[in-house]
């Protein structure tokens, strides 16, 4: 897909996901279909986090002095924070920031909540809107000024080891979320110059979009004791001492939904994983003059049975050409289309067309078994979409031995470049500048000896780079 | 309950619903238990609205010129709108308001969405946070600066009659929501001086809190063509003309949750309707030294069976005194406590204690039937709570024949006063001032002849007044 950016913009409009005509730059409207896609995506995220996180909700507005408390943190955000300065016609005594993220909203309360070692670990999350005054080119779901769907988790731990463990645990949780969405990823530890402001280190998930650029879709931060020291988050140990806690935080945003749309879509339109599709099955009756009512009745019974089985099913009985219906539901990415006509009823068959393959299949119709048959098809589709998207991703990761090769690859194949790297900041920044790419981060430490592809010093890590959103 | 206000504040803290220590006045934190209560309440609201409304989500920030377009509307809100004036260190060209409500965010888009008579009616809703710079005394869930849970519906209609019908339909929807929550209400058409800014008229739901003051818990507005004219929302009729649309909007807020807490609570703490209780059944094992494992195993099996039946069940196997557990779960308002001890197992019985009556009941234990038994108990509780709350409400509505009698009633019994009223604005305002109350509105038109209790002119309506939150 060469013109991904245009495709993406068009499909958001045509499939009625987002209306971009709201009169503030970088702020958009979730349309009913988009809202449902968002809702089902949030259900998957919630299900995973609810296992051992408590859901909470903090206020949007952060007082200036709280936001400013953590020096490194505020430096990272001060250029892009929206400020509320007036209430009615009255100037506020203290400016209030629209949260760009919620560390400085939550941690003054964590200071009150954390008392004893027996309170720990604490794990919370919330799904809220956050705001960034983006000066770069905005793009719906990808670079916005109102992030409408920020799911941020915040945890507090008694010791360093437990916080480290939580980072690994969070990576595992995020893997399972992206697997449910059939979205492939690379995981790297971000270079120091690209970590979250205030974090010890940041682990990030990136996926690859069809234009060969990567999109950051999730981050996990080990905050160490930085915020605990700033906000005085201490606990009483078993022996009665007071000690600073350790913290982590991790977040997902609207970009998760962007990746679901971008990774699976094709020239025909959306192709949605069954787990999040607003409509999972559409039934299109094939109607002739004769026997119309019988076919409709048959379709209704089928719909009811599948709905009772827990599926989201739509019966499209509009009086328009079947071809127009096929076009519309394929464009909207409905995973399965079922067609039932008079001849099917006669023969005891029905037609299934999975969106991902678009290949017609003729199956035996048995009302008793249809739920199992369709569910199995949906499971197959999920599996196929997962495999295909991972295969595409892997085919687009190229290992290179030198900078020129990297440049050639980037110009020809796009995608992600894997290489041996010394780990030095100035070398990394030099590389970013030369290739006009971002160094995503490091994947693993090298065991055998190798040279840094850029500076020839001994290489320490396998690192990844790519053009990024 | 004489000191309701204190009780309310304390129970929010003790039952961990809300943390009021967030460092901005009128903005609070939803704690895990509160968040669950809020979530289940929203599920009930969503289920009712989803029947024929589409869920959407609009941006928080409204450009100054859009907010100002509807003159009457902006006048109603200009003193209490929060303004964003800066992005980072840059002054914005155009100030942005934090939505106080979303008419002026949505209707510029409705202008684009509404094209033809065949598009109508359109019915949308969203659940979002909204903001009011309240200068009065704030109170969690009741008078706040961040309304965290504003469910606002907006509909567009081709003609006046259809909009009128929608107002009645919305009243019906809200009735069914409040009935599910066992929250009683009076419904009135607000007097002209108290209607929504920009509406033709406002219908409101008020409930009665234990201190005898009423709380507005829902409003339905017929907007007529006011906003349609301002935002140029027109449609093409069947004959090809262009005509202004008619609109309604209606909303529910955090106050719905305040009413659930306030209406049912008692000296022991919360008493939550089963529909929204975060935990519907708590199982407390009665443990002695001997046979502990057997009792626990029995409790676990019971829990599993009830959970499989779809109930929210907690097994409290902490190693603390049973009395302490009873106290805690009663305070938190869990509708049913089940106690199971070794003697119960021997006798094939178990103990059920409904929170609303606190009366122990000894029932036969049968694992096959326990789900049905407990569900029936929960249904009884819902019914009893609904009946009791309505009875209390009705007992506190007093019909009076004169102003002195109204004053005496208000001083002695508090509650709601019902009276014959002429409908005249200056008479109504005079009455409000004399009695230091609010005229809630009119209930129905009088059929027989009567005199206005205040000015002795011919009375037109039955009206209600009360001290209000």
- Min Cα–Cα distance to chain B from A387, Å: 33
User: In Å, how far is B81's CA from the nearest CA of chain A?
Assistant: 5
Cβ-based burial of B208 (10 A; exposed 0-12, middle 13-18, buried ≥19): buried
pTM for the model stands at: 0.96
Q: Mutation test of the interface with chain B: which of A19, A24, A79, choosing the one with the most B Cβ atoms within 10 A?
A: A24
The predicted structure's pLDDT at residue B447: 84
- Residues of chain A found within 8 Å of residue B86, distances taken between Cβ atoms: 82-83, 85
Residues in chain A within 8 Å Cβ distance of B85: 83-86
Would you place residue A413 in the very low, low, confident or very high pLDDT band (cuts 50, 70, 90)?
confident
For B228-242, what is the mean pLDDT?
97
pLDDT higher than 60, residue B1: no
**Lowest-pLDDT range, A187-191, A271-275, A373-377, A410-414?**
A410-414
The percent of residues in chain A predicted with pLDDT above 70, rounded, is 100
Q: Is the dihedral of CA B419, B423, B429, B430 positive or negative?
A: negative
pLDDT more than 70, % of chain B? 100
Q: What is the pLDDT of residues A18-52, one digit of tens each?
A: 999 999 999 999 999 999 999 999 999 999 999 99
- Cis ω for the linkage preceding B202 (within 30 of 0): no
Contact (CB<8Å) A56/B29: yes
Task: Report the C-alpha gap between B204 and A57 in whole angstroms.
Answer: 28
Task: Give the mean pLDDT of A214-228.
Answer: 98
Q: Residue B441 pLDDT more than 60?
A: yes
pLDDT band at A446 (very low <50, low <70, confident <90, very high): confident
Complete DSSP assignment for A307-321? HHTT--EEE---SS-
Which residues on B lie below 8 Å from A119 (Cβ)?
A: none
Q: Look at B30 and A80 and tell me if their CB atoms are within 8 Å.
A: no
pLDDT, mean over chain A:
96
End-to-end, the C-alpha distance of chain B in Å comes to 16
Mean pLDDT (whole number) for B20-40: 98
How does pLDDT run across B101-146, given as a tens digit for each residue?
999 999 999 999 999 999 999 999 999 999 999 999 999 999 999 9
β pairing state of B336-340 and B281-285 = parallel
Give me chain B's average pLDDT, please: 96
Mutation target to probe the B interface, by most B beta carbons within 10 A, among A37, A42, A58 is A58
Domains of chain A: 4-264 (3.30.930.10), 281-378 (3.40.50.800), 397-466 (3.30.110.30)
Looking at residue A2, its pLDDT comes to 55
- Give the pLDDT confidence of A297-351 residue by residue, as tens digits: 999 999 999 999 999 999 999 999 999 999 999 999 999 999 999 999 999 999 9
Nearest CB among A21, A84, A129 relative to B109 is that of A21
d(CA B210, nearest CA chain A) in Å: 28
How close is the nearest chain B Cα to the Cα of A348, in Å? 34
At B370-388, the pLDDT tens digits run 999 999 999 999 999 999 9
pLDDT digits (tens, 9 = 90+) for B147-199: 999 999 999 999 999 999 999 999 999 999 999 999 999 999 999 999 999 99
Q: Is B346 helix (H, G, I), strand (E, B) or coil?
A: helix
A19 interaction partners in chain B (CB closer than 8 Å): 109, 112
Scan for tokens 């309310």, then name that residue: B8
| Integer CA distances (angstroms), A29 to A466, B58, B61, B150, in order | 31, 5, 12, 17
Task: Tell me the Cα Rg of chain A.
Answer: 25
Which residue, A116, A115, A113, A100, is CA-closest to A66? A100
Query: Is residue A444 very low, low, confident or very high in pLDDT (cuts 50, 70, 90)?
Result: confident
ipTM summary value: 0.96
Q: Taking 60 as the threshold, does the pLDDT of residue A169 lie above it?
A: yes
Q: What is the pLDDT of residues B280-317, one digit of tens each?
A: 999 999 988 888 999 999 999 999 999 999 999 999 99
Lowest mean pLDDT among A282-291, B60-69, B434-443: A282-291
Gap from A278 CA to chain B (nearest CA, Å): 12
Instruction: Collect all residues of chain A within an 8 Å Cβ-Cβ radius of residue B112.
Output: 19, 21
Q: Chain A residues with CB inside 8 Å of B119's CB?
A: none
- Evaluate if residue B2 carries a pLDDT over 80: no
Q: Between chains, do A27 and B56 touch, taking CB under 8 Å as contact?
A: no
């Amino acid at each position: 897909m060469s013109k991904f950016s245009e495709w993406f913009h068009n499909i958001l409009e045509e499939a009625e996901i987002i209306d971009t005509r709201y009169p503030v730059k970088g702020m958009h409207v979730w349309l009913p279909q988009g809202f449902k896609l968002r809702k089902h995506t949030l259900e998957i995220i919630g299900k995973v986090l609810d296992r051992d996180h408590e859901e909470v909700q903090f206020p949007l507005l952060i007082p200036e002095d709280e936001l400013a408390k953590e020096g490194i943190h505020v430096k990272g955000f001060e250029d892009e924070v929206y400020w509320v300065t007036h209430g009615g016609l009255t100037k506020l005594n203290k400016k209030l920031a629209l949260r760009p993220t919620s560390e400085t909203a939550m941690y003054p309360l964590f200071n009150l909540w954390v008392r004893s070692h027996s309170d720990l670990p604490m794990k919370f999350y919330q799904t809220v809107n956050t705001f960034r005054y983006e000066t770069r080119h905005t793009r719906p779901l990808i670079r916005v000024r109102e992030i409408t769907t920020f799911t941020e988790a915040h945890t507090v731990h008694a010791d360093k080891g437990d916080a480290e463990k939580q980072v690994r645990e969070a990576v595992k949780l995020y893997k399972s979320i992206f697997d449910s969405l059939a979205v492939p990823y690379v995981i790297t530890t971000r270079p120091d110059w690209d970590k979250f402001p205030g974090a010890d280190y940041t682990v990030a998930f990136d996926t690859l979009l069809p234009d060969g650029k990567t999109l950051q879709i999730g981050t996990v931060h080990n905050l160490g004791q930085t915020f605990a020291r700033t906000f005085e988050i201490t606990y009483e140990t078993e022996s009665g001492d007071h000690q600073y806690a350790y913290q982590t935080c991790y977040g997902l945003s609207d970009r998760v939904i962007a990746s679901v749309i971008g990774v699976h879509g094709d020239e025909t339109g959306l192709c949605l994983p069954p787990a999040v599709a607003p409509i999972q099955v559409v039934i299109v009756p094939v109607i002739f003059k004769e026997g119309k009512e019988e076919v409709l009745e048959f379709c209704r019974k089928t719909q009811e049975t599948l709905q009772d089985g827990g599926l989201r099913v739509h019966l499209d009985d509009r009086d328009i050409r079947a071809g127009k219906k096929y076009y519309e539901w394929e464009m909207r990415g409905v995973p399965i289309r079922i067609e039932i006509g008079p001849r099917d009823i006669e023969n005891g068959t029905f037609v299934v067309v999975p969106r991902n393959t678009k290949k017609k299949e003729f199956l035996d119709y048995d009302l008793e078994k249809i739920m199992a048959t369709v569910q199995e098809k949906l499971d197959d589709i999920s599996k196929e979409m997962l495999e295909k998207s991972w295969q595409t991703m892997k085919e687009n990761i190229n290992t290179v031995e030198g900078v020129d090769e990297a440049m050639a690859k980037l110009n020809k194949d796009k995608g992600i470049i894997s290489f041996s790297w010394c780990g030095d900041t100035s070398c990394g920044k030099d590389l970013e500048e030369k290739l006009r790419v971002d160094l995503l981060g490091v994947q693993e430490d090298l065991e055998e000896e190798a040279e840094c592809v850029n500076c020839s010093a001994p290489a320490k890590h396998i690192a990844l780079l790519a053009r990024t959103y």
